[in-house]
Structure 1
Amino acid sequence: MRAALGKIRSKGVLLICIISLGLFAFIAEEAFRSCESSSAEKHQQVGEVLGDKISVTEFQKLVDEYTEVIKMQQGQDNLNEDQLNQVKDMVWNTYVQTKLIANETEKLGLTVTDQEMQDVLTQGTNPMLMQTPFFNQQTRRFDVNALKKFLAEYKAQGSTNPQLAKQYDTIYKYWNFIEKTLRQQLLAQKYQGLFAHCFLSNKVEAKQAFKDQNEESQIQLASLSYSSIADNKVTVTDADLKAKYDEIKARFKQYVESRDIKYVDIQVKASASDRAALQKEFAAYDTELAAAADPSDIVRKSTSLVAYTGVPVLKDAFPYDIAQRLDFMGVGSTSKVFESKQDNSLNIIKLVSKQQLPDSVQFRQIQVAGANAAETAKRADSISTALKAGADFEAIAKKYGQTGEKNWLTTKQYQGAPSLDKDTRNYITSLNTMSVGEVKNIALTQGNLIIQVVDRKAMVNKYVAAVVKKNISFSKDTYSAAYNKFSSFVSANLTADEIVKNAAKAGYTIQERKDITTTEHNLAGIHSTREAMRWLFDAKKGDVSPLYECGDNDNLLVVILDNINSVGYRSLEDAQVKEFVKAEVLKDKKAEMLLAKLNGVKSVTEAKAKGANVTAVNQVTFAAPVFVTATGASEPALSGAVAATAKGKFCKAPVKGNAGVYVFQVVNKSQRAAKYDEKAEMQKLRQQHMQMAGNFMNELYIKAKVVDNRYLFF
């Protein structure tokens, strides 16, 4: 035992090292796992507000919710990239604002009660309520009873009709969104109201504000512009720049990191041979459309950007470049092939018909079906004959298990359809062309439909036009040639300096963008550049990006990270800061020179003798900065000096302004023909206070340490 213990003791140091290494490995492994888990969690975070993180899943849920609301409001099935980006911005801004307000109101004990919500619904005048299906067009107010009825039906409905159930569910989700947003809005208004009541106004202030707005001065103004002194006549030292920078340093505080880039962007365009091939294609469409009685197949096979439905629609159903030509075409004629610069397309139009038709049609209908086609036709003929003889429409409809209720069909309900089958086309055309009271039996694929037009409103011009519109796009060969050339340039110039130096020789232009932040969806305004954005905010100064294929599948892009502008104060070495500071120093030094020149001047005449530009300026008030035509600038300081100078007096001292130095003589002072209304003036001041209170969100945002990582995911 002793021998064993002695052996252990002799290896004590070694054992301690082994145990220590084992413990370190265990701790390191756990730390690594923890870091790995934390890193994975971080990479799923869209952002952070007040320390609270929101994951990509949570944010996407909010985006999906708002997207459905926009679709419902605008009657769209899909949103394009720009619309989706607007939705994401709106969702993010609302999320941040809601978190900021909630944090403050929770401290204060502010809430929106159910009774307050009920009061808003009962009043029915809140603008948000006007966007709901429960807005009554006749009373022009929100109908709270219609909402209650819907909610009761939604809870009770157990419809086996999937389409009806989906409609109920869509409206229910829409209302939940409106209600949630309304609560947030009311809470924010309460909080803002607290700020507004912190600003006090009184009768003295109201009277002074009225005087500031309505007392006008007429002056003789003598001005010496800073531009009258050449920049090279002024000496600016590093010490001058440093002193001015320290004086106005607060202006250069940056709360969000931004990045400056240089980049080369190539937009691939159709070559001469591509255009010639498309022109040849359109020559064939010209011949075919002119000869076709039904242009449906021609438009479909052409893959035109404008669908042909064959039913009469309003002019605004067509793109603007098409719509503006329709009234100048004869029915049955085909236009010449023309190019539209606004959407980079070639176009040709055949005007099939132009008629005065109702924009809205009220109708009722009875669906007829039988065991077979013959029985269906016989039953439909019988119903049609009875109705034409004066039978009661609703009574017959009820006999066949239908209501026969009246419905309205408006042009906008169908004119945006991408396509219409033959039955639907026949149905819509019939409703458009039937007279009031007319009954028609329409044979459809799945049976017959008896329709009767009850009313027609708003007779308008409607058009049936076949349009072939195709983008003037490049061929694969053209794109390959552009890609190969640009790829060769990028491969031969691997550093930022080489790209900048040799771009012009290769026929490319170096462009710049300053202060790009993570809030942007696209790099340099080019679509589909999310990968480039990810690269940019992970790169180091001077790095060159890979070659990106982006845009609308027509752009080639390479980016240079030129500078990183970190959170904090931008330094004097920053080119933009230095340029701004230098301009301020030049202005100050020129002002000193011009003030010295006007020193001791006692009249406008003396100032003119020293080279000043003299003009008459009327309607100068304290409440608004005077615009000086001679220097091309607004001058608040001049407005203040004029207000403080009595009628007939010359200014006590020259005024240093934004664009020059001024002296003046007050020729006259007069009061505008406005009656003082103390109550109205007090209300104006209160509104101004509300506007000032509205700036609180910026301060809350800065203190909340908001992190926006949306660029990583969206």
Structure 2
Amino acid sequence: MGMILVIVIAVALLAFIAGEVIHFGGSLLRGDANTIGVVAGEKIPYADFNKKVEQNTDQYRQQYGANLSPQITSYIQENTWNQLLSQAILKKELDRLSLVVGTAETQDMISGKNPDQQIIQAFGDPQTGQVDRVKLNNVLNNIKAAKEGDPMKSQWNAFVAQMIESKKAQKYVSLVTNGLYVNSLEAQDDYEAKNKLVNFKYVALAYASIPDSKVTITDGDYSDFYNEHKASFKTDQELRNIEYVTFNGAASKADSAAVKAQVEKMLPDFKASTNDSLYVQVNSETKTPLVYQKKGALEPAVDSVMFSAAKGFVYGPYLSNGSYKLAKLVDSRVGPDSVKASHILINPATEGGVEKALAKADSLKKLIVAGKSFADLATIYSIDKQSAEKGGDLGTFGRGTMVPVFDEAVFNGTKGEYKIVTSQFGVHLIKIVDQKGSSKVAKIAIVDKPLIPSKETQSAAYNKAQAFLASVSGGNFDAEVKKEKLQLTPANDVSGITASLPGLESARDLVRWAFKAESGDVSDQVFTSGDQYVVAHLTTIKPEGTLPLEVVKPQIEAAVRNKVKAKQLLEKIQSASASSIDQLGQKVGAPVVPVQNIVFANPVIPGVGAEYSLVGSIFGSQPNKLSKGVEGQNGVYAYVVESFVKPAALANTVREKQQIGQNLTQRASGQLLNALKDKANVKDYRAKFL
């Protein structure tokens, strides 16, 4: 029995492992559990990628201070991947060429006459755009005096290392771009392409003139088109085509009425409240601070009534931004439009707590009242170095520019007054330097309840999705969709790291399933995205490399059909046996259209669109000679060139060469990286991790 059990367990484990290989497209053979990608044979560890994503995410939050949506998260992950990919690819080339940045060169990048752009960004004066040498030298002296292991020293070394790597990359790109050359013949050709004019007449037989039902496409037609355009069917990553139906679980009319009723019940207590700020904190979903606002800054529905209402007036319930709300006029007054202020910002963490920071601010206030210079003390004590360099001056600003507690202090105070307030940035000692303008402002308290679907609504939608899922398989998915009169949504060329799909803000679970499933599979579960319940069908798997004809057949069908139509239309023009464009127009039943002043560099035919083959053929023709039929984007054409208008002789060949060279150089770095990427045989396993 023991032996039988061992065999059974072994077989089960083997089946499980084999199943995982099949379901994840052979993932056990494609990268290991710790590798997110491979570049030129070198692995990119997932831990390194994740650490870099966290750093870039923190930077994004610091810069924009916003919550991260699935789309933003995907954007950060994609940028991080491209950064690591570029670094790995360039490192190979830099090492191969032994490109280095020497000690003297590094020193010159930091403190030389022409410092590196990263030094300018970190230590530049926003007013002048030049490096603040005093600030830079202070940092360098502090770094020099720091002991080994000091975090400041480590951060500086990492900063310099990054700067050196950027410099190496610049050198490499320069090596390539310095080898680019534009000769005089190229300059002359480019000048003529932009300035030589042609006047011509044409006859067009549109593809739309032949009904699709009159055209039969053969396998040979598909093969011919596929072989002719094979290079355009190459993909650098695995892709999926998905289609899906959604069942809406958003709040119903009954849900809306129920939430509105909840808010209406709050109305008497809200009206009677004597501590509106506390009431908002306790009862509102959104804890909005109570601040004075001028007309035009409030929501339109509230803005139109509050500035003529009496204190204590309550408006609502009203629906706004997905919530039912009540708004109460707490107070109104006439206040300044803008304020000029200075501050000294004190860090509670370095002072031993908020109480000690407040005590220090109070001490500084007493010194200033006694005659000490506010500007001098700001330079010494303020941790806001940007304003400290200007004596604490924050300039002139309007309402809503600063954090609410700061705004309240400066707009409700008086000119020349000193205020001490605490915000998330620290303790502020504020001097109100000046106040300008005056207008009526209102302090509004708002309580809100979000309009969310009830459990009953969600259950009903989910049950419908489950019932549909139970009724379908890969073979009858589209038929069941039509039978149930559901809306089918296609999502083509989905990559393994796609975060959202049309109508679905969060679709990672669905995409992960698609990259484990086989073509034709229906999802094995109902997916949830916001208030939508989703059942999906995987229609096509597009492997990395050149896609086979069977895969691209649906997307090329229209173009192949036009090819077949083109043969018929070309035959119609040929059989007309016309000797002039006017005679041809009469025989094929199409008008003769005159066109003036077309240039080779912009092959757009008025009223038709871009026709590259037609315009290219025209500029290679002789005047007054009826052309053969030309297959275009929108139809088949025949034409007669009436005249070419040559431009004036190129006056400045050197300048023309420089302009072409600049455009070439600008494109070179991106094209260079793409070429290196192709050569590096990049393996992307992000779909396994993200």
Shorter-chain TM range is 0.7 to 0.9
Residue by residue, what CA displacement relative to the aligned partner does 1:600-656 show, whole Å, maximum 9, x if unpaired? 432345435532333332330112112241xx331123333343456x634554433
8 Å contact 1:285–1:298 — kept in the other structure? no
Q: 1:94, CA displacement in angstroms?
A: 0.8
Q: 1:92, CA displacement in angstroms?
A: 0.4
SS at match of 2:475: helix
Task: Pick the structure with greater CA Rg.
Answer: 1
Aligned to 1:72: 62
Pick one of 243, 248, 255 that aligns with 2:224: 243
Q: 1:57, CA displacement in angstroms?
A: 1.5
Between the aligned partners of 1:387 and 1:600, the Cα distance in structure 2 is 98
Alignment of 1:355-394 (within 5 A): 355-358=335-338, 361-363=341-343, 391-393=371-373
Between the aligned partners of 1:106 and 1:461, the Cα distance in structure 2 is 67
8 Å contact 2:382–2:392 — kept in the other structure? no
Between the aligned partners of 2:415 and 2:266, the Cα distance in structure 1 is 40
Structure 1's 650 and 94: CA in aligned 2 closer, same or farther, altered over 3 A? Answer: same
Q: 1:528, CA displacement in angstroms?
A: 4.5
Residue by residue, what CA displacement relative to the aligned partner does 1:301-339 show, whole Å, maximum 9, x if unpaired? 34333x3222346899x7xx8379647751656555443
Residue by residue, what CA displacement relative to the aligned partner does 1:566-618 show, whole Å, maximum 9, x if unpaired? 23432332342551562353254244224415654323454355323333323
Aligned to 1:638: 614
Between the aligned partners of 1:501 and 1:102, the Cα distance in structure 2 is 53
Match of 2:211, as an amino acid?
A
Alignment of 1:412-491 (within 5 A): 425=405, 428-439=407-418, 451-454=430-433, 464-490=443-469
Between the aligned partners of 1:555 and 1:120, the Cα distance in structure 2 is 54
Between the aligned partners of 1:80 and 1:232, the Cα distance in structure 2 is 46
8 Å contact 1:124–1:144 — kept in the other structure? no
Check if 1:45 corresponds to 2:21.
no
8 Å contact 1:193–1:690 — kept in the other structure? no
Check if 1:572 corresponds to 2:585.
no
Between the aligned partners of 1:235 and 1:257, the Cα distance in structure 2 is 32
Alignment of 1:222-237 (within 5 A): 222-237=203-218
Q: Give the RMSD, CA atoms, in angstroms.
A: 4.6
SS at match of 1:136: coil
Between the aligned partners of 2:625 and 2:51, the Cα distance in structure 1 is 67
Structure 1's 503 and 123: CA in aligned 2 closer, same or farther, altered over 3 A? Answer: farther
Match of 1:473, as an amino acid?
I
8 Å contact 2:336–2:437 — kept in the other structure? no
Match of 1:137, as an amino acid?
P
Between the aligned partners of 1:212 and 1:383, the Cα distance in structure 2 is 72
8 Å contact 1:548–1:558 — kept in the other structure? yes
SS at match of 2:200: strand
Between the aligned partners of 1:187 and 1:324, the Cα distance in structure 2 is 58
Question: Where do 5+ consecutive residues of structure 2 fail to align?
Answer: 1-13, 22-26
Aligned to 1:264: 245
Question: Where do 5+ consecutive residues of structure 1 fail to align?
Answer: 1-27, 159-164
8 Å contact 1:214–1:674 — kept in the other structure? no
Identical aligned residues as a percent: 25
SS at match of 2:589: coil
Structure 1's 322 and 607: CA in aligned 2 closer, same or farther, altered over 3 A? Answer: same
Between the aligned partners of 2:445 and 2:647, the Cα distance in structure 1 is 62
Structure 1's 674 and 475: CA in aligned 2 closer, same or farther, altered over 3 A? Answer: farther
8 Å contact 1:483–1:556 — kept in the other structure? yes
SS at match of 1:62: helix
| Of 574-583 and 433-442, the range deviating more from structure 2 | 433-442
Structure 1's 216 and 581: CA in aligned 2 closer, same or farther, altered over 3 A? Answer: closer
Aligned to 1:134: 123
Pick one of 509, 514, 518 that aligns with 2:496: 518
Aligned to 2:256: 275
Q: 1:684, CA displacement in angstroms?
A: 1.5
8 Å contact 1:125–1:141 — kept in the other structure? no
Q: 1:77, CA displacement in angstroms?
A: 7.5
Structure 1's 688 and 591: CA in aligned 2 closer, same or farther, altered over 3 A? Answer: farther
Check if 1:658 corresponds to 2:656.
no
Match of 1:477, as an amino acid?
E
Pick one of 89, 97, 111 that aligns with 2:86: 97
| Of 221-230 and 348-357, the range deviating more from structure 2 | 348-357
Between the aligned partners of 1:53 and 1:556, the Cα distance in structure 2 is 38
Q: 1:44, CA displacement in angstroms?
A: 2.4
Aligned to 1:7: none
SS at match of 2:521: coil
Between the aligned partners of 1:183 and 1:397, the Cα distance in structure 2 is 39
Alignment of 1:289-300 (within 5 A): 294-300=275-281
Structure 1's 315 and 487: CA in aligned 2 closer, same or farther, altered over 3 A? Answer: farther
Check if 1:311 corresponds to 2:287.
no
TM normalised by structure 1 equals 0.75
Q: 1:101, CA displacement in angstroms?
A: 1.9
